[in-house]
Amino acid sequence: MSDSFQDALAGLAAIVGDKHVIASRADQEPYVVDWRGRYRGRAVAVVKPGSTAEVASVVRYCADRRLAIVPQGGNTGMCGAATPDDHAGNVVIRLDRMRAVRDVSPLANTITVEAGCILAEVQNAARDVDRYFPLSLGAEGSCQIGGNISTNAGGTAVLRYGPTRDLVLGLEAVLPDGRIFNGLRALRKDNTGYALKQLFIGAEGTLGIVTAAVLKLFSPPRSSALALVKLQGVAQALEIMQRLRGVVGDRLGSLEIMSRSQIEAIAETVPHVTIPFELTTPWYLIVELTDTLAGVDLDEPLATALADAMEAGIAKDVILASNLAQVKAIWAVRHSVSEGNKRSGYVVSHDSVVPLERQADFVTNVEARIMAAVPHARVVMHGHIGDGNIHVIALIDHAHCQEPATTAALVAQINEIVDDETAAQGGAISAEHGIGITNRVRLARVADPLDIELMRGIKRLLDPSGLMNPGKIFGAGAA
């Protein structure tokens, strides 16, 4: 290690304490590789500050020495946005020690948390005061709320509660020059100038490090009903959504869809998950209704609406969950999609969103185009009906992915197919996963050049040296 790096380690240790600076390669391992093992980078140090002031000091220290900063949450992201690149001078900042729930107000329906809080901890802190924090996703046991905010995480409750952006009332962030943006206000309305906090939400740590936030809470769902519907396709799922809205209004909680091939991939590879229904149709829709009142009978309207849909030929079969075990068994399938896909081959994953009217065509076209171009691919899909967001995933047998160059070419080919079809349908290539490293070339290819110009302008404004999470969203040399 160079002298200047030795100096940096000492300088960082002087700020956060020796034991919160990780310098050895072996100990850094969990932080320099993304959880899927796609990206591997290097770092002079992984630093764990204990307060916003320490984060600010670390950032200022790095800025003064032109060390690049990589903010990292729970390292559960889908696009490599929290993984350092392979320059040796990166400093990874983890907020694991900033995990306090600073305040919960059941009156104001707000919770104030530090960015290192695990999502499940936020959910639990809300539950403790009989409130509900709706953000819910597969990684909730290990992802951190700061990362959720920085990636504007989606998940299974967007249909009713919106993405993370809609759940953030206030936030605090350390800017690339070490100054602290203090927007940590528990205010439901604020029209005092430009919406600065919005810049940090979904910016993937390229404009600063989110250190704390005030989040919205809700009345908890106290009644619910769940069914699994077997059906022919996405068009039928949308028709069922329409019918349910007519019958239950805004009580639609989740509408999650999976293709038969998606469920088969899970059945074949995830031994601890049993598929609690027979696979007899091309698509499977999980319908969950919720009400914030206890004792509301949602089973009856759900059963009636779905029976009507069967009679009309829209649903092929309906399984109503009659107990909690059944509910859990059905959700277990949905929550195993990432694991099942990872075990089934090399995953070329997409996150397109299109207008709802285009969703059925999108799915049909994109599958046909991938299969025509890459006959050995296996296309599986799952997604969020009502959001317009379907994850199209091409699983490639590892035998076809031995050579990095071949794999890269294959991935690029499939990405272009999906992106072109997404553009043709008026959509966007990332609904909830973000850009990170994975999608920066794709974004540059499909985005309006004006959008990129404005984004680069904002990046330069906040981070003129380009040291804050370099190489993410824009690719290298953004600033």
Contact 330, 398 (CB under 8 A): no
Residue 152 identity: N
Measured from the CB atom, the residue of 19 and 189 that comes closer to a copy of itself is 189
Beta carbon nearer to a copy of itself, 395 or 462: 462
| Alpha-carbon gap, residue 203 to 289, rounded angstroms | 32
Smaller CB distance to a copy of itself: residue 189 or 272?
A: 189
Query: At its nearest, how many Å lie between a copy of itself and the CB of residue 349?
Result: 14
Least separation in angstroms between CB 291 and a copy of itself: 7
Question: What is the nearest approach in angstroms of a copy of itself to the Cβ of residue 79?
Answer: 9
DSSP 3-state assignment of 329?
helix
Q: How far is the CB of 279 from a copy of itself (least distance, A)?
A: 28
Query: Closer CB to a copy of itself, residue 70 or residue 435?
Result: 435
| Secondary structure of residue 348 in the 3-state scheme | strand
We find the least distance from the C-beta atom of residue 91 to a copy of itself, in angstroms, to be: 23
Residue 239 or 339 with smaller CB distance to a copy of itself: 239
Residue 307 is which amino acid? A
Buried b (16+ CB within 10 A) or exposed e, 224-242: bbbbbbbbebbbbbbbbbe
Nearer to a copy of itself, 16 or 56 (CB): 56
Q: How far is the CB of 442 from a copy of itself (least distance, A)?
A: 9
Closest distance between a copy of itself and the C-beta of residue 49, in Å?
20
Nearer to a copy of itself, 140 or 387 (CB): 387
Residues whose CB is less than 8 angstroms from the CB of residue 217 and which lie 6 or more positions away in sequence, other chains included: 104, 106, 109, 110, 111, 126, 131, 132, 133
Please say whether the beta carbons of 207 and 468 come within 8 A. yes
| SS3 assignment, position 20 | helix
CA dist 212 and 200 (Å) reads: 12
Q: Nearest 5°: CA angle at 69, between 98 and 96?
A: 20
Considering the complex, state which of residue 14 and residue 129 has its C-beta at the smaller distance from a copy of itself: 129
Question: Looking at beta carbons only, is 11 or 383 nearer to a copy of itself?
Answer: 383
CA neighbor of 112 nearest in space, from 48, 49, 169:
169
Q: Report CA Rg, the chain.
A: 23
How many angstroms separate the CA atoms of 202 and 192, rounded?
22
**Burial track 180-211 (b if 16+ CB lie within 10 A, e otherwise):** bbebbebeeeeeeeeeebebbbbbbbbbbbbb
Eight-class DSSP state of 66: T
Minimum CB separation from a copy of itself for residue 165, in Å? Answer: 7
Spatial neighbors of 39 by CB under 8 A, at least 6 apart, are 33, 80, 83, 437
Q: How far is the CB of 250 from a copy of itself (least distance, A)?
A: 5
Give the residue with the Cβ less far from a copy of itself, 245 or 260.
245
Residue carrying the six token digits 């700020």: 15
> What are the residues facing 383 on neighbouring strands?
257, 390
CB of 226 to a copy of itself, least distance (A): 19
- Cα–Cα distance measured from residue 119 to residue 126, given in angstroms and rounded to the nearest whole number: 11
CA distance 388 to 325: 29
CA distance 242 to 28: 50
Residue 240 to residue 304: CA distance in whole angstroms: 12
| 430 versus 469: smaller Cβ distance to a copy of itself | 430
Question: Which class for 310: exposed (0-12), middle (13-18), buried (19 or more C-beta within 10 A)?
Answer: middle
What's the closest the beta carbon of residue 364 comes to a copy of itself, in angstroms? Answer: 17
**CA count, 13 A, side-chain hemisphere, 39:** 24
User: Would you say 28 or 148 has its CB closer to a copy of itself?
Assistant: 148
CB of 216 to a copy of itself, least distance (A): 9
Q: Quick one: which of 152, 186, 181 has its CA closest to 169? A: 186
Which residues are 215's β-sheet partners? 111, 168
